[in-house]
Structure 1
Amino acid sequence: MAGFGRRAMWPLGLATLAAPALLRAGTAAAQDGPVARPPAGALRGAAPDGVLAFKGIPYAAPPVGPLRYRSPQRLPTWAGERDATRAGAAPIQTIPPWATWLYDRPAQMGEDCLTLNIWTPALEGRRPVMVWIHGGAWRTGEGVAAGNDGAALARLGDVVVVTVNYRLGALGFLAHPALKDPETRAAANWGVQDQVAALRWVKVNIAAFGGDPDNVTLFGQSAGGTSVANIAPNPANRGLIHKMIIQSGAFLGPPDLPDVAGAAAYAEALAARLGTTVPGLRDAPAEGLHTAELALAREWGAQNGGRVPVLPIADGVVIPAVPRGARLPAMPLLIGTTRDEAVFWYDLLDPEGRRIPGLPSPTDDASLLRMVGALKEGSRPRATATAEAVVEAYRRAAAGRGGATDPNALWMAAYTDLRFRLDALETARRHAASGQPAFLYEFVHPLAGKARGVPHCAEIPFVFGTHTDPYFAAKSGTGPAEVALAKAMMQGWSSFARTGVPSSDEGGAWQAVASGGEGVNLLGGEGGPRRVVPVVRAEELEVWNL
């Protein structure tokens, strides 16, 4: 995996765990930095390259001890100036090989991780606010990863960018009735509750950073995009967000998305493995709990078709309805995917052309049919098409375009559509049909070097303008085409946050999707930063009666 970044990368162990210092003595540089004075308490940040940065800001009490598996608790205001020049600890996590494409090794990890980071052009004014929820399958990621540094986006778009840490893995998404919070009555979705708590903090405090609390765009990718769809429909969150951006969100439904009762057996199995009760998990050492759950997940997934109930669930409290069936609220929506999402897990290469270890692809038609059938039942159980009909439709369409028709290529296309493209298309179509502004995109800019395809996560360095960062330069490219694409995408995302309509200097305002689903804004590739086509993969999508 040479050429992939600043540091050596390997699946993370727990030797790097460290609790962040809540109050640090300011250095001389920090003492000269900008001071914001929100209601939460004074914060001294830094001003690198003309953008003001405030990092490691706690938005809730540390979820440790008796507060583990509790809804986030309000943090008291602090006296004096708090140092906000350094990021807080990342949530406890282990990064699988393919996720190292996006995530560098966190400098520190710990259970005390409920912090957010803010980049702003100035403390005065009322700029649009963009709150980023990172992805990572609800198991990996952090708010200060190289890809989602908010400085370039804040500068070019004249917006306030906020990134959020939230509880991950077994500490953030274990569910059981015995864990029910006595105040909120929630027994699941601790990480989603953290995200909402961060939004509530933004509502109260962001004006002190030059942000407009009445113009907040919630945006996220992958698990973060699904989080947008989880949070927005809940009436309890009304007024916290005003626009939505969903990047490669997988809109889960049964059986992938269980209820509390369906997830309880997993929590009980974890408790038994650690020799305790489910409530006793609050007292287990965090490192041991994390390690034990990873081992359990491997065994559980092997026995249950890969499905492990450590993810958001439809609990009726935090998430009233499953994302696939939920109607998004009446506000502008920007939603889309990458061209080859599945490559990220099944066929990812580094810039030198070496394969990054990933999940096994089908090796012949028989295994392809089995995998497509299982994927269809997990993603779209009501679809009438058989696995044989799906495979035949995809093979015929690929052959007609002169593309590859081997089992691996067909699996990539079917997985991308079933897990991502269909959800984005249907959501955009439904939103437009309800009379709301909806904009649909597909990111088609290929990876650089000897890598191939346009995998999941490929758009993030362009949304944030971080494609030239040493961690991404060899993977994303730094030539004139990439510079133009990053500028157009940052302008598109920030103008959407400002007005509800994405636009850029090159190409002007985007085309909204029609109520029938026509109108896809293609981003990058040979056609330049943006162009519009009526639909993508029309022939394949016919098999789903779309």
Structure 2
Amino acid sequence: MTGSVDTAQVVAARVEQGELIGAREGDVAVFRGVPYARALRFSSPRPAEPWRRRSATEFSRAFVQSADPDSAEDALYANVWTPDTVASLPVLLYIHGGGWQVGAGSVPTFDGAHLAAAGGLVVVNFNYRLSGFGWGLHEDLADPETGLCANWGLQDQAAAIRWVAENIAAFGGDPGNITLCGTSAGGGTAWLLALRAEEMGIRRLISISAAHAAPPATSLTPEDSRRVYESIAAELGTSVAGLRDVPYAAFHTAWLAAFAGDPGSRRVLSGREYRGPIRDGVTMPEFAHVAPTPSIPVMSIHNSTEGSFFTDPLSPSFPPAPPVPVGEAQLVRAVRGVLGKLSADVPAGLAEKCVRAYRAAAEDEGLPSDPRTLWTEVWGDALFRNRIVRLAERHARLGTTPGYVMQFAHPVRAPHYGTPHDATSKFLFGTYSHPMNVAQFGDRPAERRVSTLFMAYVASFARDGVPRAVGAPQWPEFSASRPSTLILGGPAVARVDGVPKLRQLDFWREVP
């Protein structure tokens, strides 16, 4: 997509493929809809086609997703915000989340202008392939040039990193100082890509509310992936290789149908909650929880109530939240439903044991123990916080680089509650006051202070690997045995303490 801009605001940058015409907007220059790669369906990304002079003032379309009728397969584009096109500034490359199914760099929440200006950073985000177009595996879809047959979205992300390393100097960025950052699904794949930090040219990692992929909850097994592609091909009257040529809407509809409804009724047992990266031995050699810890400095962030994104009836989560449990029997059923996201076979009595463990921990710590709160805590810990904290502990124990842990705790406004999954992005990018966010997150001095500190810590970390902010506590390297978690948000605004609600996580040590 192209656009025009007042000539007084025009700013140019020359990348490998050709000249880009962007726009100066306030304190930053912005280049939108920049092709970083091109891809045929189920093929590895190729270098973008060259151009002579290209307008970069409008976002590209999002990649195919049901809620966006304007979305399209031609979507491998990046967006760049820079304070100074002739400087050599630290680079923050951001991977959006959305369960590997939705999202785009054009979402207003991820507008990089505030962070770029406040932090003195070049901020980049981008689109990548989603759902069955981006996250699957089948040998009949092997690329004739690369031989790769899986994780096309992960391949896109790697291509974006390479494009940034090769071209970011044209925007005033330092190609030798790239920090990779991502939230949720993007946080999980950022972690995987950071395992190849030296190869990719990544200097630091910021992983936020990471959805770490592993079957059966958040990744398909290779066997199940093959079965889904083969069954869809049969439904559409073609071969697996022939799926490259069917209308994209037909394939997308069939993919969504394969994972619709109750997980127990599906044709496969893995990918029960999300369909993310698949362990193929090449693009993803191993899952994060068994792979070596990253060899670069790591900032690991989670929210205080990750689960409230999914249990708040007013949340934008998809599918919508189930009814809030009332009473013990409903609570046990609700918790069993969460456990069912992690396993096709929930042992008898495990849900009751989970409720007892969480209630005892809450009561001992003086925390609420009503059904909604316990259900919310279980949901958030099961899918996010448990593995995030455990990986941070392992990095502190086995890693050779500094690790920093933050619990983001700034509460949302009533009738919303807690600090839900993905609350962080509104404050990292300073977009909490955007019309799509302000009703939930507010626009008061407290929000401005939290966002200012968040940006400062992140910008400092991206600059030299040490997170610091003026007028805020020194953030020590993480150790599970002493107070070293930065709690950002809440009455104290910023403080250092031990890992909150650590006892609740003890339950998961006993769960395979």
TM-score, normalized by the shorter chain, greater than 0.5: yes
1:527 aligns to what SS in structure 2?
coil
The CA distance in 2 between the partners of 1:268 and 1:367, in whole Å, is 39
Alignment of 1:78-117 (within 5 A): 78-79=51-52, 81-95=53-67, 108-117=70-79
Secondary structure of the residue that 1:408 maps to in structure 2? helix
1:413 lines up with 2:374 in the alignment: no
What SS does the aligned partner of 1:53 have? strand
Q: Which residue of 2 aligns with 1:358?
A: 321
Report the alpha carbon displacement of residue 341 of structure 1 after superposing the two structures with TM. Answer: 1.1
CA distance in 2, matches of 1:199, 1:454: 31
Instruction: Select between 295-304 and 502-511 the one with higher mean Cα deviation.
Output: 295-304
Q: Contact 1:92–1:110 at 8 Å: present in 2 too?
A: yes
Q: 2: CA distance between counterparts of 1:325 and 1:197?
A: 25
Residue 57 of structure 2 aligns with an amino acid whose one-letter code is: T
* TM-score where L is the length of structure 2: 0.91
Match of 1:99 in 2: none
Q: What is the distance in 1 between the residues matched to 2:188 and 2:280?
A: 16
8 Å Cα contact 2:150-2:278 kept in structure 1: yes
1:50 to 17, 27, 41: 27
1:401-480 pair list within 5 angstroms:
401-433=365-397, 434-480=399-445
| 3-state SS, counterpart of residue 43 of structure 1 | strand
**How many angstroms apart in 2 are the aligned matches of 1:357 and 1:259?**
26
Mapped to 2, the partners of 1:198 and 1:350 lie a distance apart of 31
Structure 1 residues 297-336: Cα deviation after superposition (integer angstroms, max 9, x where no partner):
2057342577167321111111110122122321110012
2:233 matched to which residue of 1? 271
Aligned to 1:131: 93
Q: Secondary structure at the match of 2:377?
A: helix
Q: Secondary structure at the match of 2:30?
A: strand
The within-5 A match list for 1:188-203 is 188-203=150-165
1:238 aligned partner: 199
Contact 1:52 1:119 in 2 (8 A): yes
- Find the partner of 1:314 among 261, 271, 279: 279
Matched, 1:251 2:192: no
Match of 2:488? 523
Cα 1:312/1:362, change in 2 over 3 Å: farther
Is residue 61–residue 72 contact of structure 2 (8 Å, CA) maintained in 1?
yes
- State yes or no: 1:341 paired with 2:302: no
Kept in 2, the 8 Å contact 1:428–1:517? The answer is no
Query: Who is 1:60 aligned against?
Result: 37
With over 3 angstroms needed to count, the CA separation of the structure-2 counterparts of 1:456 and 1:348, relative to structure 1, is farther
Quick one: distance in 1 between partners of 2:400 and 2:342? 27
| 1:14 aligned partner | none
For residue 76 of structure 1, report the CA deviation from its aligned partner: 3.1
Residue deviations 1:57-96, cap 9 Å, x none? 00112x3xxx2100101123222x210011111111124x
Aligned residue type for 2:22: G
Moved more, 250-259 or 193-202: 250-259
* 2:209 maps to amino acid: S
Report sequence identity in percent. 38
Aligned to 1:146: 108
Residues 7-55 of structure 1: CA deviation (Å, up to 9, x unaligned): xxxxxxxxxxxxx4xxx4x635268510011222110100111200000
Q: Is the 8 A contact 2:195 2:292 kept in 1?
A: yes
Determine if contact 2:36/2:48 at 8 Å carries over to the other structure: yes
Cα separation, 2, equivalents of 1:331 and 1:42: 34
Matched, 1:229 2:191: yes
Cα distance 1:356–1:377, how it changes in 2: closer, same or farther (>3 A)? closer
Query: Deviations along 1:190-212, whole A, 9 cap, x unmatched?
Result: 11110110101001000111101
Cα deviations across residues 143-190 of structure 1 (Å, max 9, x unaligned)?
021111000000000000000100111221232111111222221111
Question: 2:118 matched to 1:156?
Answer: yes
Offset, 1:362: 5.1
Deviations 1:110-150 (A, max 9, x none): 11000000000011121110001000000110002111100
1:344 and 1:34, CA in 2 relative to 1: closer, same or farther beyond 3 A?
Answer: same
| Residue 488, structure 1, aligned to residue 471, structure 2 | no
Letter of the 1:357 counterpart: P
- Does structure 1 residue 507 correspond to structure 2 residue 472? yes
Shift of 1:465: 0.8
Query: d(CA) in 2 for partners of 1:181 and 1:356?
Result: 34
Per the alignment, do residues 28 and 472 of structure 1 end up closer, same or farther by CA in structure 2, a change over 3 Å counting?
closer
Q: TM-score, normalised by structure 1?
A: 0.86
Taking a change above 3 Å as real, the CA distance of residues 308 and 533 of structure 1, as seen in their structure-2 partners, is closer
2:44 maps to what in 1?
71
Q: Report deviation, 1:535.
A: 2.0
Structure 2 CA distance for partners of 1:30 and 1:83, relative to 1, 3 Å: farther
Is the 2:99–2:275 contact (alpha carbons within 8 Å) kept by the matching residues of 1? Answer: no
Tell me if structure 2 keeps the 8 A contact 1:445–1:523.
yes
Cross-structure match for 1:214:
176
Counterpart amino acid of 1:119? Answer: W
Distance 1:301 1:390, change over 3 A: closer
Q: 1:511 to 1:313 in 2, by over 3 A?
A: same
Distance 1:182 1:30, change over 3 A: farther
The residue number in structure 1 matching 2:289 is 324
Q: What residue ranges of structure 2 are gaps of 5+ in the alignment?
A: none
Structure 1 75/538 Cα, relative in aligned 2: closer, same or farther at 3 Å?
A: closer
Contact 1:234 1:319 in 2 (8 A): no
Amino acid of the structure 2 residue aligned with 1:48: E
Following superposition of structure 1 onto structure 2, how do residues 366-405 of structure 1 map, counting pairs within 5 Å?
A: 366=329, 368-369=331-332, 372=335, 375=338, 379=342, 386-405=350-369
Q: Map of 1:292-307 to 2, 5 A cutoff?
A: 292-299=254-261, 301-304=263-266, 307=272
C-alpha contact (below 8 Å) 1:30/1:83 kept by paired residues: no
Bigger mean CA offset, 178-187 vs 199-208: 178-187
Cα distance, 1:359 vs structure 2 = 3.7
Aligned in 2, Cα 1:406/1:449: closer, same or farther, shift over 3 Å? closer
- Change in Cα spacing, 1:365 to 1:268, as seen in structure 2 (3 Å) is farther
Aligned-partner SS, 2:162: helix
Name the CA shift for 1:409/1:195 in 2 (closer, same or farther; >3 Å).
Answer: same
The residue that corresponds to 1:533 in the other structure is: 497
3-state SS, counterpart of residue 226 of structure 2: helix
Output the CA distance in 1 between the equivalents of 2:237 and 2:264. 23
Question: Does the CA-based 8 Å contact 2:362-2:368 persist in structure 1?
Answer: yes
Could you say if the C-alpha distance between residues 333 and 379 of structure 1 is closer, same or farther in structure 2, counting changes exceeding 3 Å? farther
- Root mean square deviation, CA, Å: 2.8
